[in-house]
């Protein structure tokens, strides 16, 4: 009995006739999207001017209400800790934001708008990302992936709200809804 081993091997599938890799088309599309993003970043002027701090993650810049993108700070009336050891973390978060914006000129680039009509923006002071600084100092938690490393460092150091027990700001808001406007 003899076997023909050449027939026992599977044949390679051939791509359909006329098929070409789409690599260059994908690269060109990605490049075009990057160029568009860069143009939009320079066409939409940043918000600058007099800054008033509303709470730990919101400011008003020249009359425009702005929420910092990627973070969630304790609400102004929120306390952290338990019982006799409770402390006004919402007021302290606002103080931390006020201290940051007092360091120089604030510049915010709007990226979205929230349900309250506020601009959602990435803001810097002296070129430093304000959201990253607040999370690193422990006065805000990250939303999504933006400031994960800063949050891990603040948690490990027991900084700000990580010094003891606290309710996540979203959970606190759920239990203390805003009055209907």
**Per the domain annotation, does 99 fall within a domain?**
yes
Could you tell me the pLDDT band of residue 178, with boundaries at 50, 70 and 90? confident
**Per the domain annotation, does 146 fall within a domain?**
yes
Range of the domain at 113: 47-163
**Per the domain annotation, does 98 fall within a domain?**
yes
**Per the domain annotation, does 92 fall within a domain?**
yes
**Per the domain annotation, does 147 fall within a domain?**
yes
Which pLDDT value is given to residue 179?
A: 74
Could you tell me the pLDDT band of residue 46, with boundaries at 50, 70 and 90? confident
Could you tell me the pLDDT band of residue 124, with boundaries at 50, 70 and 90? very high
**Per the domain annotation, does 78 fall within a domain?**
yes
**Which of 35-39, 59-63, 131-135, 159-163 is predicted with the least confidence, judged by mean pLDDT?**
35-39
pLDDT in tens, 68-121: 999 999 999 999 999 889 999 999 999 999 999 999 999 999 999 998 889 999
User: Kindly report the CA angle at 34 between 29 and 36, in degrees rounded to 5?
Assistant: 95
Burial class (CB in 10 A: 0-12, 13-18, 19+), 163: middle
DSSP of 4-52? -HHHHSPPPPPPPTT----HHHHHHHHHHHHHHHHHHHHHSPPEES-EE
pLDDT in tens, 64-73: 999 999 999 9
Average pLDDT value for residue range 133-157: 96
Number of domains, the chain: 1
pTM for this predicted structure: 0.75
- Short-list 26, 11, 123, CA closest to 67: 123
Helical segments of the chain, H only: 5-8, 23-43, 89-101, 130-136, 148-157, 169-175
**Per the domain annotation, does 27 fall within a domain?**
no
Give 47's strand partners.
108
**Per the domain annotation, does 110 fall within a domain?**
yes
Task: Assign residue 95 the CATH number of its domain.
Answer: 2.40.50.90
């Amino acid at each position: 009995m003899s076997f023909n081993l050449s027939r026992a091997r599977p044949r390679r599938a051939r791509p359909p006739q006329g098929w070409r890799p789409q690599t260059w088309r994908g690269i060109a599309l990605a490049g075009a999207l990057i160029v568009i993003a860069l143009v939009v970043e320079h066409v939409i002027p940043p918000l600058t001017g007099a800054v008033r701090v509303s709470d730990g993650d919101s400011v008003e810049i020249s009359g425009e209400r702005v929420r910092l993108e990627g973070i969630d700070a304790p609400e102004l009336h929120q306390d952290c800790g338990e019982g006799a050891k409770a402390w006004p973390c919402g007021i302290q978060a606002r103080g931390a934001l006020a201290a940051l914006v007092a360091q120089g000129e604030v510049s915010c680039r709007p990226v979205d708008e929230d349900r309250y009509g506020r601009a959602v923006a990435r803001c810097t002071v002296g070129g430093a990302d304000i959201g990253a600084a607040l999370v690193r100092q422990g006065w805000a938690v990250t939303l999504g992936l933006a400031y994960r490393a800063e949050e891990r460092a603040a948690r490990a150091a027991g900084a700000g709200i990580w010094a003891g027990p606290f309710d996540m700001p979203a959970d606190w808001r759920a239990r203390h809804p805003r009055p209907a406007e």
